[in-house]
A and B are shown apart, each in its own frame.
Chain A
Amino acid sequence: MSVYLLRRLIQAGGVVLAMSIIVFIGVFAIGDPVEILISPDADQMERERAVAALGLDKPLWHQYLIFLGKAAQGDLGRSFVFNEPALELILQRMPATLELAFAATFGAILIGLPLGLYAGLRPNSVGSKAIMAGSILGFSLPTFWVGLMLIMVFAVQLGWLPSTGRGDTVEVLGTRWSFLTWNGLQHLAMPALNLALFKISLVIRLTRAGVRETMLMDYVKFARAKGLSPFRVTFVHVFKNILIPVVTVTGLEFGSTIAFSVVTESIFAWPGMGKLIIDSINVLDRPVIVAYLMIVVLMFITINLIVDLMYSVLDPRVRLESK
């Protein structure tokens, strides 16, 4: 187990290094931040001084080595715009995004699993056909449009829910959370639902397919032949088997939920990382973009590792031992 973990960590280090090179070159290719940051009236002297101060006068490989050296000490550079450490800037906004992503993921499981289970157990009923049709909508409607419609209906027309912001927050463990206050929950509901919509559909389809496949297995028929109650057959014998793919996919999806919460955060003015990255891209704030992408990479690696570990808990046939 520890050998396995060590090997995974070394692999993770390699991925981070490779990613940092790609990101660095990619950001360099997007455009020159000097054009945006320095006022057009500035003369040649001022310009050169500013470029030197930002370290943009050195060749790309030199810039990269400086970045790497500082990154090893936990410094991912300073934002050109805010003149604050990029890492700090992102970490400040991370709880808001994590809160949104967790709410969306749990919502997707809480709504998707029962619906998928129902659709799988009663594949020919009207209800399950409606669920499957709904899941197609969830897959195909664009997030930004659904977000705008949600605001139109629930905030503008009905006035039930607030349209933007995080609402009242409570400070726990040094960070502010919305879900602990009623007002915060109201603010969280719409963006979370908007972000969850695609995942709900995904969980429904995965669960339904898993149930339909598992129900045909001999071991389910054998469980019935043992005289077990339908409840136990469904919720122990079938459920534990379908959890394996569902956990894998929702786990991996969690990373993309964080990465792609950009759209939802922009629509609902949710002050998270996604909104920060969009603003930073607009002004070519390179250190923030690079730091954000590095953090997302790290997050994906961590999530993958957790998913693999959970896999071994759910499926006894998977053994995490070095061969």
Chain B
Amino acid sequence: MAEPMNAAPTLEVRNLQTHFFTRGGVVKAVNDVSFSIARGKVLGLVGESGSGKTVTGFSIMKLVDPPGRIVGGSILFQGRDLATLSEEEMRHLRGNRIAMIFQDPMMTLNPVLRIDTQMIETVQAHEKVSDEDARARARDALGMVGIPSPDERLKSYPHQFSGGMRQRVAIAIALLHRPDLIVADEPTTALDVTIQGQILAEVQKLCATTGTAMLWITHDLSVVAGLADDIAVMYAGRVVEYGDVGEVLDKPLHPYTHGLIGSVPSRNKRGVPLRQIPGMTPSLLNLPEGCSFRARCPRAAEDCIVMPTLHPWLPDRLARCHHPHLEEVATA
């Protein structure tokens, strides 16, 4: 599909800040995050637990629960800033133009409602269609994600499905209105690798054919390597590295990305102790001055006391670091 080069991206997040105002203080869960996703592209948002990836996803949906609040930045979806929309305007976009898939398939479907109820209500929330037409749409969507005999399965309750099947149902619900953007929050983390593979392949196919942009939130680098076009690495509420997925994984610039890739067990040699990043992620309640990764970084120097900016060290390669791994890029 040839897209005009100057076409506006489906989603452009600029300097997003989402903070939680707790009794213990302000938790800066998302602190200056920027990225963009073009039509039909997949952006992998990677980071450790607590790095703010999920909150970023919920911020785009505007489903951050109090005491959390979007305090700054803009979320441009097809040119409209979601941050300024009213709840009612936002509701018309949710599930319709922007869909979300959750992490735990065992928890996302309502246990006391049948699958058909949960799918038909989604269709009818955004379009005036008859029950039969909505049911037909639901059945087609189930077929599309590879659920056998969708007509019978529509009458089932969630507990009659396995985890993988439930996630397929959740994906089918997300696809009902052929959204322009899907926010997928670790949708395959809870699944077997074989099911994960099938679902990834289907998602990839759908993005390519329907032009849906996708934000794929995960901590699994191998999933990102196979699925995403671009990658954004988050650490302590900030994007620390951003660029093409192949280039970033091959030659990471940021020491954190470097450590993250090094920590993947399959990359380590047998018999040699597994590599790891020492220390823990800092408390978001009380971030250290300067670079948040400073305390764990092997390349930290005195100038790291000043927070680095997301700097374009290479063409289309951004990294938030004073001492990126440029020498490895040069030698490669």
Binding site for B on A (CB under 8 A): 217-229, 232, 236-237, 240-241, 244, 314-317
Interface string of B156-182 (1 = CB under 8 A from A): 010100000000001001000000000
Asked if residues A219 and B170 are in contact (CB atoms below 8 Å), the reply is no
Does B291 lie at the interface of the complex (its beta carbon under 8 Å from any beta carbon of A)?
no
| Residue among A221, A225, A228, A244 with most chain B CB within 10 A | A225
Contacts of B95 in A (CB 8 A): 225-228
- A221: which of B63, B92, B125 is its contact (CB, 8 Å)? B63
Question: In whole Å, how far is A20's beta carbon from the nearest beta carbon of chain B?
Answer: 39
Does B109 lie at the interface of the complex (its beta carbon under 8 Å from any beta carbon of A)?
yes
Asked if residues A217 and B94 are in contact (CB atoms below 8 Å), the reply is no
Asked if residues A227 and B110 are in contact (CB atoms below 8 Å), the reply is no
List the 10 closest pairs (A to B, CB-CB), nearest first: A227-B95, A226-B95, A218-B107, A227-B94, A316-B157, A225-B100, A219-B110, A222-B108, A226-B122, A240-B112
Does B148 lie at the interface of the complex (its beta carbon under 8 Å from any beta carbon of A)?
no
Asked if residues A240 and B113 are in contact (CB atoms below 8 Å), the reply is yes
What is the bound-complex CA distance between A76 and B63, given in angstroms?
Answer: 64
Asked if residues B110 and A241 are in contact (CB atoms below 8 Å), the reply is yes
Asked if residues A222 and B125 are in contact (CB atoms below 8 Å), the reply is no
Asked if residues A228 and B121 are in contact (CB atoms below 8 Å), the reply is yes
Contacts of B111 in A (CB 8 A): 219, 241, 315-317
User: Quick one: which of B105-138 are within 8 Å of A by CB?
Assistant: 107-114, 121-122, 125-126
Asked if residues A225 and B113 are in contact (CB atoms below 8 Å), the reply is no
Asked if residues B112 and A224 are in contact (CB atoms below 8 Å), the reply is no
Asked if residues A226 and B125 are in contact (CB atoms below 8 Å), the reply is yes
- Known contacts A227-B126, A237-B113: does B159 contact A218 (CB below 8 Å)? no
Contacts of A225 in B (CB 8 A): 61, 63, 94-95, 99-100, 102
Asked if residues A227 and B108 are in contact (CB atoms below 8 Å), the reply is no
What is the bound-complex CA distance between A228 and B177, given in angstroms?
Answer: 13
Asked if residues B94 and A218 are in contact (CB atoms below 8 Å), the reply is no
Q: Which single residue of chain B is at the shortest CB-CB distance from A241?
A: B112
Interface majority SS on A: helix, strand, loop or mixed? helix
Asked if residues A226 and B121 are in contact (CB atoms below 8 Å), the reply is yes
What is the bound-complex CA distance between A317 and B157, given in angstroms?
Answer: 8
Does B91 lie at the interface of the complex (its beta carbon under 8 Å from any beta carbon of A)?
yes
Q: Which single residue of chain B is at the shortest CB-CB distance from A319?
A: B159
Asked if residues A237 and B110 are in contact (CB atoms below 8 Å), the reply is yes
Question: In whole Å, how far is A207's beta carbon from the nearest beta carbon of chain B?
Answer: 16
- Known contacts A222-B170, A237-B110: does B104 contact A227 (CB below 8 Å)? no
Asked if residues B112 and A315 are in contact (CB atoms below 8 Å), the reply is yes
Q: Which single residue of chain A is at the shortest CB-CB distance from B103?
A: A218
Q: Which single residue of chain B is at the shortest CB-CB distance from A221?
A: B63
- B112: which of A226, A229, A316 is its contact (CB, 8 Å)? A316
Q: Which single residue of chain A is at the shortest CB-CB distance from B87?
A: A230
Contacts of A240 in B (CB 8 A): 110, 112-113
Contacts of A317 in B (CB 8 A): 111, 157, 159
Q: Which single residue of chain A is at the shortest CB-CB distance from B111?
A: A317
Contacts of A224 in B (CB 8 A): 63, 94
Asked if residues B94 and A226 are in contact (CB atoms below 8 Å), the reply is yes
What is the bound-complex CA distance between A240 and B114, given in angstroms?
Answer: 12
Asked if residues B91 and A218 are in contact (CB atoms below 8 Å), the reply is no
Contacts of B125 in A (CB 8 A): 226-229, 232
Contacts of B91 in A (CB 8 A): 227-229
What is the bound-complex CA distance between A228 and B92, given in angstroms?
Answer: 9
What is the bound-complex CA distance between A226 and B126, given in angstroms?
Answer: 9
Does B93 lie at the interface of the complex (its beta carbon under 8 Å from any beta carbon of A)?
yes
A sample of 26 inter-chain contacts (CB < 8 A) reads A218-B102, A218-B107, A219-B108, A219-B109, A219-B110, A222-B109, A222-B170, A223-B110, A225-B63, A225-B102, A226-B95, A227-B92, A228-B91, A228-B95, A228-B121, A229-B91, A229-B125, A236-B113, A236-B121, A241-B111, A244-B112, A314-B112, A315-B111, A316-B111, A316-B112, A317-B157
Contacts of A314 in B (CB 8 A): 112
Contacts of B100 in A (CB 8 A): 222, 225
What is the bound-complex CA distance between A240 and B121, given in angstroms?
Answer: 15
Does B96 lie at the interface of the complex (its beta carbon under 8 Å from any beta carbon of A)?
yes
What is the bound-complex CA distance between A219 and B173, given in angstroms?
Answer: 13
- A219: which of B92, B94, B107, B126 is its contact (CB, 8 Å)? B107
What is the bound-complex CA distance between A315 and B157, given in angstroms?
Answer: 10
Besides A218-B104, A226-B121, 15 other A-B contacts (C-beta < 8 A): A222-B100, A222-B109, A225-B61, A225-B63, A225-B102, A226-B95, A226-B99, A228-B91, A228-B95, A228-B125, A236-B121, A237-B113, A240-B110, A244-B112, A316-B112
Contacts of A316 in B (CB 8 A): 111-112, 114, 157, 159
- Known contacts A227-B95, A227-B125, A316-B159: does B102 contact A221 (CB below 8 Å)? yes
Q: Which single residue of chain A is at the shortest CB-CB distance from B183?
A: A225
Asked if residues A232 and B63 are in contact (CB atoms below 8 Å), the reply is no
Interface string of B75-101 (1 = CB under 8 A from A): 000000000000000011111100110
Contacts of B61 in A (CB 8 A): 225
Contacts of A236 in B (CB 8 A): 113, 121
What is the bound-complex CA distance between A241 and B109, given in angstroms?
Answer: 12
Q: Which single residue of chain B is at the shortest CB-CB distance from A228?
A: B125
User: Quick one: which of B177-231 are within 8 Å of A by CB?
Assistant: none
